[in-house]
Structures are given as structure tokens and as C-alpha cells.
Structure 1
Amino acid sequence: MTTASVSGSRERELWRRLGEVNDPELDEPITEMGFVERAEVAGDGGVEVDFRLPTYWCSPNFAFLMLDGVRKVLDRLSWSPVYRVTLHDHMFAEEVNSGMEAGKSFGDIFGELAGDLDLGTLRETFAMKAFKRRQEAVLLSLRQCGLPDQEILGMDLVAYDRARFRMEETAKQKARYRAALLERFPARRASDPVFLTWEGQKIPVSALGAHLAELRGVRINMEFNGALCRGLKHTRYKELDVVDGEPTLVDFIMDRVPVEPAPNI
């Protein structure tokens, strides 16, 4: 294999791995959110990743969770490179970068500032939201395909894997829900129901409407946060001169308020 093809193969693997890391609050890949500003493989195989978040004050626990995810996927690269991940333009960038490089935990990096925050509990909360959002997407799509609720809720993994969706986004969520289901309930058998509550309970047909209403609330909240996040990032990094510091939330909102044309006098 030529040097160029090796480099190209490694670049593709690098971006594929980075795409496996999700924003924990939004359940969307950090690559699609635009948080990975640069990811390159050097001639010697080393990897450099530059990471930026929508605002200077983004929650440091969110930043740590994403960067920790980046660190884990880089550890799984096939050629085991030396790598460096750098967080830019964040209020705790220096602490996070030095701590991550040293392999420190969130508590080690922030000490007393971390307080009683339990990242394990936080991870589980985000995993629950992702589980519900993915499940809703698949349930609604199966309904749109004309399947009766009883058949949908009776699906096992075999029937689920046979189901086909025309929309690419739905097909992606189908695979993502399957992954979330097996991560949440790793001991499931192929004959067990696919659609369960987060607590592992079967969903009665009579309760599906109320269950979907709950899932819808989770999705709307995540979609709002995602839109706000993208807007803030766009406003922060778009090419314009910023007077007296970085754009604020007010700048973001005002940038999207339609301006009425001046009346002709």
C-alpha cells in the first residue's frame, strides 16, 4: 500500500471514530455539530485534533465528557498513534487540556470546583434521553409504515432487524436505537421485545400514546438545545468583526430577528 493510500485510509478511520462520539446532551455526533475544527494524521502517524465549543462558558463537565470520548476512540485507532487533543477558546481550556494530557479524571482536574458532581449519574441521564429519542424515531416510522401498534410492540430483535425504512435518517436511528437497547439491556435474547421503557418494562398497547407523548417531550427539548447550540456556534465563529469581545446570546437572537425595510418617505 502506498504512503498516500495509507494516509487516506487513516484519515477516514480517524473521522469515522470521531463520529462515534456524541454531544452528551444532544445525542448528535460531535463531527456533525462542528465541534471538531481540525483532525489530521501527520506523516509519522501522530494525530492532532482541535476542538471548539459554541461558547466560552460551555459547561466544563460537558466538555470533559466529549473530550474523554474523543480520547477513548483515539485509543482504538488501528495504528495506535501518539495523539494530542486541544480544547480552544474555553474558560477552562488550560486546565482541561493539561489534565486530559495527564490522563486525569474530572475530579482530579477541577478539584473542589467539581463539587459533588457524579459523572456516572450524568452519563446515565444523557444515555436515558438518547435511548428515548432514538426509540421515538423508530416507533413513529413503524407506525407510518402502516404496522399496527400491537405488532410493533411485539417485535423481537429478529423482526426488528428485518424492518426496512426508506428514509436514511430513520435507518440511522434504527441502528442507533438497537445499540442503545443492547447497551442498556446487554443480556437480552433475540426473542425478547425490542420496545421497552428505560426501566425495562413492556409498553402496553393502551399506553403507547402516553408513552409517545413523553418521548416527544424529550425530543423537543433536545432539538431546541441543539438548534440553540448550532446557532451560538455559528454566531461565535462566523467571519465578522466582533466589538468588545465575543458574541453573546443577545447577539445570536438579534442576528436572527428579521429587519423590516424602511418606509419610503
Structure 2
Amino acid sequence: MTATFQETLAMRAWKALDTVVDPELDQSITELGFVAALSVTPIESGGHEVHVLLRLPTYFCAPNFAYLMVADAHDAVLAVHGVKTARVELADHFASEEINAGVAAEEGFGSAFPRQGVGTDRHALEELRLTFRRKAHLACLERTCRQLVRAGWQIDALADTTIGEVPDSPERESLLRRRAELGISNGPEAPLFVESTGERVSAEQLPAKLRFAKAVRISIEGNSGLCRGLLDTRLERMAEEAQG
């Protein structure tokens, strides 16, 4: 295989990493700057190995989140045609050794962190992913409803509002993506305010559910702001060190 092929494979692997999304920030790991390096190496038996170096915002990012990012990056790269093996390495993290070994062995998060009390297979990883997606859906739902209330909608009327009645906006588009991830209908007649399971929320339950969704949204936004700031600081420091 030529160097050009390797370069093309590297581009396709990078594009695959574009599909790996931080479940709370709703941005890909490439956009967020989590991918520190990517290289392609031929394998004597045929095919290529792709090595990806990931670096998260802080040394103390939650291990379940870190494991999810590494596992999803591994699966995305391995699915690229021409990639025989994928080696995704998390650097500068307190649990990088356990996470890297667990993902390389294709074990679940629980195998790498048995004291966390979760399953040890891929199903457990999917449950972990689902937890993040449900939180993100709540945050997007609250943003969309907040926008409607500011436009004059009554809170109790939101229980009968359908997706088709919600005006186009970035908040609506983000909510539609989150609903699709959870398998919730996005048809025009589908109710707007639903649980993460797709079950409609009654008018009586809605105010309390909206308050809870607001708390989740504030928590996510606070965490994301902190992470972005810490990541920028880390990248700036690394650039300064590289310059001497």
C-alpha cells in the first residue's frame, strides 16, 4: 500500500471520529479537540492499524464518561474499511491504564472498574450511553420549552403541544436529534413534552418535570462550561510547552 493510501485511510478514520459525540455537549470529539493525534501503520499480515490518542479536558474527568469516549472512538475507527486493528489510547487521565486496557480487551466498563457496581459486558456500556442521552434529552427539552414560554406560551399548554407546532429553531433541531437517539417519534403529531421513554407527561406532572429538567440543564451547562475552559487552558499550556 502506498503512502497516499495511508493518508486517505487516515482521513477516513478522522471522519469516522467526527461521528463520536460528547453526549452532553452535543459536539464531536474532533470539534472539541479531544483527538490529540492519529496515525496509520501497515500490518505485516495485511491491513492497517490506526492509533488514536485522546486527551480529555482534565485529568479527573469522570471515568464512565472517559470510558465511553474511548470505546466509541475505538468502534468508529474499527468500522472503517481497510482498518484491521484500532488502538485508542487515552492520555493524561488518572484512570487511563484501566480504561485503555478495558477497551482494548473489548470489555465493559464494569470489568475495568468492578467497584462501580455495573455490568461487565457491552450491554452495560450501552446502558451508560443511554443515561447520558436521557440527561441530554431533558436539557434540550427544557431549552425548547423555555423558548416557547418566552414567546408567550403557557406552561400548562405544553402538555398538549405537538412537535409540529414548535417553530423552527436551533433548540428544536437539537431536541429532534436527541429524540431520534432515544427512538422517540419526531412526527408532527407526536407530543412535545415526553419522558425519555417517549411517554407523554400530563399537565399536572409537567411543572415538576420542567423544574427537574431545568436542574439537569443547568448542571450540564455548568459542567460543559468548566470542561471547555479547562480544555482550552490545557491546550494553550501544551502549545506554550511545544514552543519552548
Give TM-score scaled by structure 1 length. 0.66
Match of 1:177 in 2: 178
Identity %: 32
The correspondence of residues 114-125 of structure 1 with structure 2, limited to 5 A, is 114-118=115-119, 119=124, 122-125=128-131
Match of 2:18 in 1: 19
Match of 2:61 in 1: 58
Residue 171 of structure 1, CA deviation: 5.7
**One-letter amino acid matched to 2:74:** R
Gaps of 5+ in 2: none
2:79 maps to which of 73, 76, 81: 76
Residue 5 of structure 1, CA deviation: 9.2
Answer whether contact 1:138 1:174 (CA < 8 A) is retained: yes
Residue 40 of structure 1, CA deviation: 4.6
Query: Partners in 1 of 2:230 and 2:177 — Cα distance?
Result: 27
Residue 224 of structure 1, CA deviation: 0.5
Match of 1:134 in 2: 140
C-alpha change, 1:10 and 1:229, in structure 2 (3 Å) is: same
Answer whether contact 2:24 2:132 (CA < 8 A) is retained: yes
Residue 219 of structure 1, CA deviation: 0.9
**One-letter amino acid matched to 1:52:** R
1:148-197 per-position Cα deviation (integer Å, ceiling 9, x unaligned): 774884425xx37xx663x5x43640441331341xx48x9875434312
1:105-126 per-position Cα deviation (integer Å, ceiling 9, x unaligned): 3333345xx3424545544432
Structure number with bigger Rg: 1
Q: Supply the RMSD in Å over aligned alpha carbons.
A: 3.9
Answer whether contact 2:21 2:28 (CA < 8 A) is retained: yes
Match of 1:228 in 2: 226
1:225-256 per-position Cα deviation (integer Å, ceiling 9, x unaligned): 11111222233342357xxxxxxxxxxxxxxx
The count of aligned residue pairs is 228
Match of 1:155 in 2: 162
Answer whether contact 1:134 1:176 (CA < 8 A) is retained: no
C-alpha change, 1:74 and 1:151, in structure 2 (3 Å) is: same
1:58-84 per-position Cα deviation (integer Å, ceiling 9, x unaligned): 332221121111122223324444322
Query: Partners in 2 of 1:78 and 1:130 — Cα distance?
Result: 31
Give TM-score scaled by structure 2 length. 0.70
Gaps of 5+ in 1: 242-265
Query: Partners in 1 of 2:139 and 2:84 — Cα distance?
Result: 35
C-alpha change, 1:56 and 1:93, in structure 2 (3 Å) is: same
Deviates more, 1:220-229 or 1:43-52: 43-52
